[in-house]
Amino acid sequence: QVQLVESGGGSVQAGGSLRLSCAASGGFFSSNAMGWYRQAPGKQREMVAVISRSGTTNYADSVKGRFIISRDNGKNMVYLEMNSLKPEDTAVYYCNKGPMTTAGSYYPVEWGQGTQVTVSS
């Protein structure tokens, strides 16, 4: 009954930027953390960025300093601004939602269907 829909993916040259958006409906958006994961062909799905309901963020080392996650609780939206994109950023990006412990551990429960990001040299 919780629906997450990603948008904003596409093809871009290395060094360019993209902004991904995720619209959430149903559930309790403001009470849960949200995040972005990605999966490249033949590779394990990995965490990219997570944001708590209060706005605390965490990033994978590979994207720190290049990507920014943000959210708008009033609009039930979460965003991922991706800058200085590299070919290794090519993957399907998935928006997700789930609980976060007081220690910062995140457990995604609900998932969107993903949006493709392709970065060429």
> Which pLDDT belongs to residue 95?
97
| Mean pLDDT over each residue of the chain, to the nearest integer | 93
> Which pLDDT belongs to residue 30?
52
> Which pLDDT belongs to residue 31?
61
For 120, the 3-state DSSP assignment is: strand
> Which pLDDT belongs to residue 74?
84
pLDDT digits (tens, 9 = 90+) for 25-67: 876 655 689 999 999 999 999 999 999 988 999 999 999 999 9
Cα 48 to Cα 45, 71, 95: the distances in Å are: 10, 15, 10
Contact (Cβ atoms closer than 8 angstroms) between residue 14 and residue 81: no
> Which pLDDT belongs to residue 94?
98
